[in-house]
């Protein structure tokens, strides 16, 4: 971890020298010396950290902290230097006079900076001497590191062997996936190699499940040649091939040839291939595969003969699973956590030997079990730990529940959980380690907004721009990689391909918080004194506090050092006085702040003046506050890239906003109806010349009601990826289409016309080009999401040519009944989600055969005139979810609903009593029942007289209304 942090700081120093180095003058060489020395130490840190943390001598651990502290201090001094001197860049005669005056005025300050840099240089020289001493004293060198890796790998192999020895009696929830995997092995094409990959996060029981499949009697009879090989992170391929040969010979009860010891890798692969070709049908398991390249190499040793051969892999990484299945009739099985019922059974079997849990322990036991979130490894480890506790002393169990995260810091039974979860972290490249550790800022059980997370990464400089990619694309790529490695779980999708919310498994979060705290990366507080006064806090995160002793907290907090603070992020509302005092402390002393996130603090009514003095500020999130006005001083924040004023009272921005040439994200809007987003949003009145913000990528939502000049300015923002427009006038439709033609990178477009409700939206016309001009052009070809909240005379013709469109929302369009609303959408190849709200005035909708081939979700809402729906056979073949809501005249289920063979859920919300009665009273022998019997989940929902939402289900798992 220390090596990761140091690498990050070195990247920042390198960027500084490249962009601001000319300001340093003669100090540049001193800074370069510091960087070079830190670079040498980084290589040593990488080797030192190969040792187990508890094996590192205390002096060595202290030395590592000194290195990091010196690196951090160097970064802070240079940031302070830039803040003081870079702002005086001016030209012309008066600029020269100002520079002379400033240089005289700041001569003392420049001398102080030079003195501090010299002081750090001396510290670095002293630390460097320790580097040489520890290198020889503790014998840390490349050779030793290699041997340490080998030892650690061997230890991990022994640890994985434990998973293979789990008794059948201890296993729960394994029968169904076991049967399914066996059927995948035994069924299918007998003339082609088939690969079955089992993927999931560490500790889910992938190895245990596959071992039970591999040892099944029917599988053993079917495959005479069998082998099990553990791969692991540090894979010696030559050793692995020899291990495979030994297992194959042992299974066939043949002696292992001594000649394999002298063969090279190519010869060993040929040996394996020849053996398997002669052996006939084989089944081989490669357990714990970490690298795509492993499969790309091993596949050449596996003959693709006509015997119906099978290979199984276990992996934590989705890309490994896909790579292994691409060239074969492969199957990917995603491991899921145990249900609470299965978790409880496993828990009680381990502690109470199959007996029930004593009543006085039930609540605390369930609280502990919830922490495991269905992770079998954690359940077995924690239950083994609790088995040593006295069942008559509930206080011992309550202590475990309160300190479960702290138990991961020990070396007892839970240490194995920490080690296994840490393996996935250790496998990450440096920049992804930093990104993952940063998730420690979010509270436990918090639904993380993906968009907020990636923009925080960008502001914190954890991701770097790459050639041909926007910085946001790079950040989304980092999130995708962490999801693919089973470290982050996506919980909600905005549209296919774009995650909306995500979370971290609770125990993995404990590991992340522990590692983050060790390196002083993040300091989490509830506003109470949880830090030592001497701590140099760099990233302060405020979680909701239950403390009422605000005055005492404030007095103790005054001694904290916020001079080095770079980020201040808050979660949840708290005591107005406590929040005001802490924010005052932060803003008064934090001159190096780059990130300020006060989102959701409802007591914040204005933007503090101190914020406009923060030269380095990149990210300002005030969404969900009561801020009403943005002062002209906003123009001083020359480095500001992100400004979020969503759900505030701000409705206009000053001209000074145009000075912010690094602006990348600007979000200013408020819901028209806070209880229902179907009615759209209020935008903000933009200053003239808005097109001057050439770096802008996200503009959400701009008020176009003041005239065509604003709409024309939008066409100058050629970097836009997301655009929201409100109060569009009918006469500006043509100008808007002209501007949109320039936005070749646009992914998300939302257009709202003038209107406050569902009946008074102005009719707009977006048809100003012949469709043939779009079929071969680039007009909106990058668009993934289109939202039209306005009345339309007819569907824009160009919509039918948006081949990249993934989701479309039509609200209050009131298209005429004789207009085929669906015709322009039915052949879009990537359309996966449709939301219609008040979009159609006709009596019926017909989904014709051959249309909407990739649609997965259809939501129809508030169509007062809709009386019937029909789905022809061959239409909507992949539909998973159908939501019918507030359709008062629709009293029958869609005709042809039986054709929707992949439908997973039917949700009837606030539908007519006739429809509900017919659905609820169907008998199993009836034709109507047979039409819907294939649907796994049917849910009926409505509001009660007292305004409470109620759902009842006919069958299936209950789904909450979203």
Output b/e per residue, 787-818; b: 16+ Cβ within 10 A. Answer: bbbbbbbebbbbbbbbeebbbbbbbbbbbeee
pLDDT in tens, 268-281: 889 888 888 887 78
Residue 3 pLDDT level (bands cut at 50, 70, 90): low
Number of C-beta neighbours around residue 369 at 10 A:
22
Q: Is the pLDDT of residue 150 over 50?
A: no
Least confident among 47-51, 887-891, 948-952? 47-51
CA separation, residue 951 to residues 544, 885, 955 (Å): 31, 13, 12
pLDDT of residue 58: 66
Say if CB 829 and CB 803 are below 8 A apart. yes
Residue 407 pLDDT level (bands cut at 50, 70, 90): low
Task: Give a three-class secondary structure readout of 756-809.
Answer: CCCCCCCEECCCCCCCHHHHCCCCCCCCCEEEEECEECCCCHHHHHCCCCCEEE
Look up residue 337 and give its DSSP letter: P
pLDDT of residue 49: 58
Closest among 214, 211, 234 to 225, alpha carbons compared: 214
Q: Is the pLDDT of residue 807 over 60?
A: yes
Of 628 and 259, the structure prediction assigns the larger pLDDT to 628
Mean pLDDT of 740-757: 86
Residue 137 pLDDT level (bands cut at 50, 70, 90): low
Sign of the CA dihedral with 440 first, then 442, 444, and 445 last: negative
Number of C-beta neighbours around residue 264 at 10 A:
9
Mean pLDDT of 327-346: 84
Give every CB contact of residue 519 below 8 A, 6+ residues apart in sequence. 1, 2, 5, 68, 437
**Vertex 617: Cα angle to 478 and 461 (nearest 5):** 20
Pick the CATH number of 161-334 from 3.40.50.300, 3.30.750.200, 2.60.40.420, 3.30.930.10: 3.40.50.300
Structure tokens at 707: 């005239």
Instruction: Please tell me whether residue 387 adopts helix, strand or coil conformation.
Output: coil
Mean pLDDT of 487-506: 85
Of 551 and 344, the structure prediction assigns the larger pLDDT to 344
Look up residue 90 and give its DSSP letter: -
Radius of gyration of the chain (CA): 31
Query: Domain 1-86+102-145: which CATH class?
Result: mainly alpha
pLDDT in tens, 283-325: 899 998 888 888 888 888 888 766 788 899 999 888 888 888 8
Q: What is the distance between the alpha carbons of residues 347 and 385, in angstroms, rounded to a whole number?
A: 11
pLDDT of residue 48: 61
Closest among 3, 167, 53, 51 to 415, alpha carbons compared: 53
pLDDT of residue 409: 59
By CB atoms closer than 10 A (0-12, 13-18, 19+), residue 561 is middle
Structure tokens at 529: 């004194």
Mean pLDDT of 771-775: 51
Count Cα atoms within 13 angstroms, Cβ side, for 461: 20
- DSSP helix, strand, coil percent of the chain (3-state; round to 5): 45, 15, 40
Residue 610 pLDDT level (bands cut at 50, 70, 90): very high
pLDDT in tens, 816-834: 755 567 888 999 999 999 9
Place of tokens 């091939």: 241
Where does 331-429 have alpha helices with state H? 340-352, 362-372, 376-386, 394-402, 404-407, 415-426
Of 107 and 469, the structure prediction assigns the larger pLDDT to 469
CA separation, residue 400 to residues 364, 397, 403, 794, 900 (Å): 9, 5, 5, 64, 50
Say if CB 886 and CB 862 are below 8 A apart. yes
Q: What is the distance between the alpha carbons of residues 317 and 620, in angstroms, rounded to a whole number?
A: 35
pLDDT of residue 54: 47
Long-range CB contacts for residues 601-608, cutoff 8 Å, separation at least 24? 601/570, 601/573, 601/625, 602/573, 602/626, 603/573, 603/576, 603/579, 604/579, 607/631, 608/583
Mean pLDDT of 43-59: 59
Say if CB 364 and CB 401 are below 8 A apart. yes
Average pLDDT, the chain: 81
pLDDT of residue 146: 39
CA separation, residue 73 to residues 4, 516, 533, 639, 928 (Å): 17, 18, 17, 21, 73
Mean pLDDT of 100-118: 64
Least confident among 560-564, 615-619, 772-776, 802-806? 772-776
Look up residue 520 and give its DSSP letter: T
* Percentage above 70 pLDDT, the chain: 81
Say if CB 745 and CB 782 are below 8 A apart. yes
Q: Is the pLDDT of residue 553 over 70?
A: no
Of 591 and 725, the structure prediction assigns the larger pLDDT to 725
Q: What is the C-alpha end-to-end distance of the chain, expressed in Å?
A: 40
Residue 740 pLDDT level (bands cut at 50, 70, 90): very high
Say if CB 509 and CB 444 are below 8 A apart. yes
State pTM to two decimals.
0.79
Long-range CB contacts for residues 162-170, cutoff 8 Å, separation at least 24? 163/205, 163/207, 163/208, 163/211, 164/207, 164/208, 164/211, 166/208, 168/212, 169/349, 170/346, 170/349, 170/350, 170/380
| Domain 428-521 fold | Arc Repressor Mutant, subunit A (1.10.10)
Same fold yes or no, 1-86+102-145 and 428-521: no
Q: Is the pLDDT of residue 96 over 50?
A: no
Q: Is the pLDDT of residue 160 over 50?
A: no
pLDDT in tens, 636-646: 999 999 999 99
Give every CB contact of residue 630 below 8 A, 6+ residues apart in sequence. 607, 645, 650, 653, 654, 657
pLDDT of residue 528: 59
Q: Is the pLDDT of residue 884 over 90?
A: yes
Task: Give a three-class secondary structure readout of 876-932.
Answer: CCCCCEEEEECCCCCCCCCECHHHCCCCCEEEEECCCHHHHHHHHCCCCCCHHHHHH
Q: What is the distance between the alpha carbons of residues 377 and 371, in angstroms, rounded to a whole number?
A: 12
Q: Is the pLDDT of residue 547 over 50?
A: no
Domain boundaries, the chain: 1-86+102-145, 161-334, 346-410, 428-521
Instruction: Please tell me whether residue 51 adopts helix, strand or coil conformation.
Output: coil
Mean pLDDT of 419-425: 75
Structure tokens at 419: 């080690």
Of 947 and 878, the structure prediction assigns the larger pLDDT to 878
Least confident among 67-71, 557-561, 809-813, 938-942? 557-561
Give every CB contact of residue 748 below 8 A, 6+ residues apart in sequence. 721, 722, 723, 783, 784, 785, 787
Least confident among 623-632, 665-674, 811-820? 811-820
CA separation, residue 69 to residues 8, 66, 488, 519, 907 (Å): 13, 5, 30, 10, 56
pLDDT of residue 340: 85
Q: Is the pLDDT of residue 229 over 80?
A: yes
Q: What is the distance between the alpha carbons of residues 392 and 189, in angstroms, rounded to a whole number?
A: 58
CA separation, residue 727 to residues 555, 683, 786 (Å): 50, 8, 17
Give every CB contact of residue 359 below 8 A, 6+ residues apart in sequence. none
Chain-centroid distance, C-alpha 915 = 40
Structure tokens at 395: 């206080």
């Amino acid at each position: 971890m220390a090596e990761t942090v140091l690498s990050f700081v070195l990247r920042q120093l390198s960027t500084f020298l490249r962009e601001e180095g000319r300001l340093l003058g003669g100090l540049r060489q001193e800074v370069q010396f510091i960087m070079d020395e830190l670079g040498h130490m980084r290589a040593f840190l990488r080797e030192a950290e190969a040792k187990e943390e508890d094996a590192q001598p205390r002096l060595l651990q202290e030395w590592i902290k000194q290195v990091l502290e010196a690196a951090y201090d160097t970064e802070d001094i240079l940031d302070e230097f830039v803040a003081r001197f870079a702002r005086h860049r001016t030209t012309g005669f008066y600029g020269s006079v100002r520079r002379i005056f400033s240089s005289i005025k700041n001569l003392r300050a420049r001398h102080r900076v030079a003195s501090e840099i010299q002081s750090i240089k001396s510290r670095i020289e002293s630390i460097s001497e320790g580097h040489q001493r520890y290198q020889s004293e503790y014998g840390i060198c490349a050779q030793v590191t290699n041997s340490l890796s080998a030892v650690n790998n061997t230890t991990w192999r022994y640890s994985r062997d434990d998973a293979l020895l789990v008794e059948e009696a201890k296993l729960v929830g394994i029968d169904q996936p076991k049967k399914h995997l066996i059927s995948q092995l035994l069924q299918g094409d007998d003339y082609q190699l088939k690969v079955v990959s089992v993927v999931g996060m560490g500790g889910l029981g992938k190895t245990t499940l596959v071992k039970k499949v591999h040892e099944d009697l029917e599988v053993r009879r079917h495959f005479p040649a069998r082998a099990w090989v553990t791969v692991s992170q540090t894979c010696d391929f030559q050793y692995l091939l020899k291990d495979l040969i030994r297992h194959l010979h042992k299974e066939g009860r043949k002696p292992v040839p001594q000649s394999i010891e002298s063969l090279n890798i190519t010869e060993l692969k040929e040996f394996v291939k020849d053996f398997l070709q002669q052996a006939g049908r084989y089944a081989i398991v490669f357990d714990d595969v970490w690298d795509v390249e492993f499969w790309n190499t091993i596949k050449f040793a596996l003959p693709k003969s006509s015997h119906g051969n099978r290979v199984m892999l276990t992996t934590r990484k989705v890309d490994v699973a896909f790579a292994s299945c691409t060239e074969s009739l492969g199957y990917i099985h995603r491991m899921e956590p145990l249900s609470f019922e299965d978790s409880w059974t496993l828990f009680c079997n381990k502690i109470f030997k199959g007996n029930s849990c004593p009543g006085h322990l039930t609540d605390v036991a369930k609280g502990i079990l919830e922490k495991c979130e269905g992770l079998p490894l954690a359940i077995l480890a924690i239950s083994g730990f609790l088995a040593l506790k006295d069942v008559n002393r509930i206080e011992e169990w309550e202590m475990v529940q309160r300190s479960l995260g702290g138990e991961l810091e020990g070396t007892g039974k839970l240490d194995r959980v920490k080690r296994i979860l840490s393996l996935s972290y250790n496998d990450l490249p440096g920049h992804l380690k930093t990104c993952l550790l940063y998730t420690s800022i979010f509270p436990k059980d918090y639904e993380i907004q993906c968009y907020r997370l990636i923009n925080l990464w960008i502001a914190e400089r954890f991701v770097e721009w790459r050639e041909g990619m926007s910085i946001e694309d790079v950040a989304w790529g980092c999130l995708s990689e962490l999801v693919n490695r089973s470290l982050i779980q996506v919980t909600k999708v905005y549209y296919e391909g774009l995650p909306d919310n995500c979370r971290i498994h609770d125990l993995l979060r404990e590991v992340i918080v522990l590692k983050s705290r060790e390196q002083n990366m993040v300091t989490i507080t509830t506003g109470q004194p949880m830090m030592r006064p001497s701590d140099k806090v760099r990233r302060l995160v405020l979680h909701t506090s239950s403390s009422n002793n605000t005055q005492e907290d404030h007095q103790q907090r005054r001694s904290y050092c916020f001079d080095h603070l770079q980020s201040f992020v808050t979660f949840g509302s708290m005591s107005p006085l406590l929040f005001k005092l802490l924010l005052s402390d932060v803003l008064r002393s934090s001159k190096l702040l780059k990130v300020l996130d006060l989102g959701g603090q409802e007591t914040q009514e204005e933007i503090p003046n101190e914020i406009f003095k923060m030269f380095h500020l990149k990210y300002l999130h005030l969404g969900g506050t009561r801020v009403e006005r943005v002062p002209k001083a906003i123009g001083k924040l020359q480095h500001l890239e992100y400004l979020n004023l969503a759900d505030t009272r701000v409705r206009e921005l000053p001209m000074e906003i145009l000075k912010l040439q690094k602006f990348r994200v600007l979000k200013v809007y408020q819901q028209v109806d806070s209880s229902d987003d179907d009615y759209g949003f209020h935008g903000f009145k933009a200053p003239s010349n808005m097109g001057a913000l050439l770096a802008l990528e996200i503009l959400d939502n701009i008020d176009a009601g003041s005239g065509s000049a604003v709409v024309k300015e939008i066409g100058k923002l050629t970097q836009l990826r997301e655009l929201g427009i409100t109060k569009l006038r009918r006469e500006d439709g043509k100008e808007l289409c002209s501007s949109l033609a320039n936005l070749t990178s646009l992914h998300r477009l939302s257009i709202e016309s003038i209107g406050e409700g569902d009946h008074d939206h102005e009719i707009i016309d977006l048809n100003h080009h012949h469709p043939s001009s779009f079929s071969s052009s680039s007009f909106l070809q990058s668009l993934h999401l289109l939202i039209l909240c306005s009345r339309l005379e007819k569907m824009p013709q160009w919509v039918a040519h948006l081949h990249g469109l993934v989701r479309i929302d039509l609200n209050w369009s009131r298209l005429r009944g004789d207009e085929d609303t669906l015709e322009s959408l039915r052949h879009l190849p990537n359309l996966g989600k449709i939301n219609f709200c008040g979009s159609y005035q006709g009596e019926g909708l017909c989904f014709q055969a051959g249309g909407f081939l990739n649609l997965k979700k259809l939501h129809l809402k508030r169509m007062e005139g809709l009386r019937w729906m029909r789905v022809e056979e061959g239409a909507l073949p992949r539909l998973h979810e159908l939501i019918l809501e507030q359709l008062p005249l629709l009293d029958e289920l869609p005709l042809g609903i039986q054709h929707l063979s992949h439908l997973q859920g039917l949700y009837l919300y606030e539908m007519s009593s006739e429809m509900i009665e017919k659905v609820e009273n169907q008998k199993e022998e009836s034709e109507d029942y047979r039409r819907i019997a294939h649907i796994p989940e049917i849910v009926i929902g409505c509001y009660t007289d007292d305004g409470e939402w109620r759902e009842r289900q006919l069958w299936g798992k209950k789904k909450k209304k979203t």
